Amino acid sequence: MVTLAEIKEAAERVRAIARVTPLLDVSSVAGRPLLLKCESLQPGGAFKIRGAYNMVARLTPEQRRLGVVTYSSGNHGQAMALAARELGAPAVVVMPTTAPPIKIDGARAFGAEVIFAGTTSVERKARAEQEAAARSLTMVPPFDHEWIIAGQGSLGLEILEQCPDVDTILVPVGGGGLLAGVAAAVKQVMPAVRVIGVEPAGAAAMKASLAAGHAVTLPKTESVADGLMPVRPGDLTFAHAQRFVDDVITVEDDQIIDAVLWLFTKAKVVAEPSGAATVAAALGGTVSSAGRLVAIVSGGNIGLEKLEELRVSRSNGVGLR
């Protein structure tokens, strides 16, 4: 397990680049106590900079000179590319062929070489491992590494500092790095605070794994939330979820789309579908909270075309995959 001391060290390390993002009270428009932790305002547009920078900063000078590689649906790739640029390391990002253009362009803008491989996390991981072996690159995994988890845990500490009377924290779940880090941080400081993971119903690998008692690989995943679609949680992230997480719940794609549009029109917050899953859970009434409820808006990398596509899909009364 990642220790509180390791998370505190990571928090100090990532201060060099990560912003202290606002905790926005939207209770009046939500019709219930609700605060949004706007990680969409981080450099690179997502929380991922915390873990990526923490890991790249801990590499040796020789490892950074040779370069780093990762596999990512987009946000981690952008974050690692940014961290590598700031720390003087060449970067290679393996993305799915279905990656949104805004995330591809973002990784390239930060100086990364982008390679495309398949549509699943398994396919892009295999290609990244090939590149690492062929070029002597250091792998910076998107979620299943103690340095990544510790970096993401800095977000948990930040929430407790900003809202010491928080009752429940909602965390989006893909591979589980953010959930693992936030839960580890929160439970080792304030054990009574509930930490609940939120997954798309079509990509509920962590929920299935917790029910089975071991990490489960889904045959496929499908969701509008492209950043929350790994077919399997990490071994480390699953172990942290088993120990520290109170529950994992699911939301439907229609709820996620509605949350994206609600955030944009009512809360004036730009969020991608992956970043809005927690808000979907809060607005859907599936989470009860005796006190202050914090929903992590984990990313805001969405283009105007995609936002309009989502708006049209809901105005027509249909979902979108």
Predicted confidence (pLDDT) per residue in 260-305, tens digit: 999 999 999 999 999 999 999 999 988 988 889 999 999 999 989 9
The number of distinct structural domains making up the chain is 2
- Sign, CA dihedral 57-62-66-72, equals negative
**Same-domain status, 113 and 198:** no
Average pLDDT over residues 182-208: 98
**Same-domain status, 211 and 169:** yes
Q: Confidence band (pLDDT; 50, 70, 90) for 94?
A: very high
Contacts of 218 (CB under 8 A, 6+ apart): 203, 204, 205, 208, 231, 232
pTM of the model: 0.94
Judge whether 72 and 98 are in contact, CB under 8 Å: no
21 has a pLDDT exceeding 70 = yes
Query: What's the pLDDT at 317?
Result: 67
Least confident of 136-150, 160-174, 306-320: 306-320
- Sign, CA dihedral 136-140-142-146, equals positive
Among 48, 103, 125, 187, the active-site one is: 48
**Same-domain status, 163 and 174:** yes
Task: Tell me if 321 is assigned to some domain.
Answer: no
Least confident of 34-38, 114-118, 317-321: 317-321
Residue 48 is a catalytic residue? yes
Give the domain extent around 124: 49-139
Q: Please name which of 172, 153, 160 lies closest in space to residue 259, comparing C-alpha atoms.
A: 172
Judge whether 148 and 2 are in contact, CB under 8 Å: no
CA-to-CA distance for 56 and 92, rounded, in angstroms? 13
Among 40, 73, 223, 298, the active-site one is: 298
Task: Tell me if 183 is assigned to some domain.
Answer: yes
Q: Confidence band (pLDDT; 50, 70, 90) for 318?
A: low
- CA 70-85-56 angle, to 5 degrees, is 50
DSSP structural state of residue 228: G
Instruction: Out of 79, 112, 139, pick the residue that ends a domain.
Output: 139
Residue 306 is a catalytic residue? no
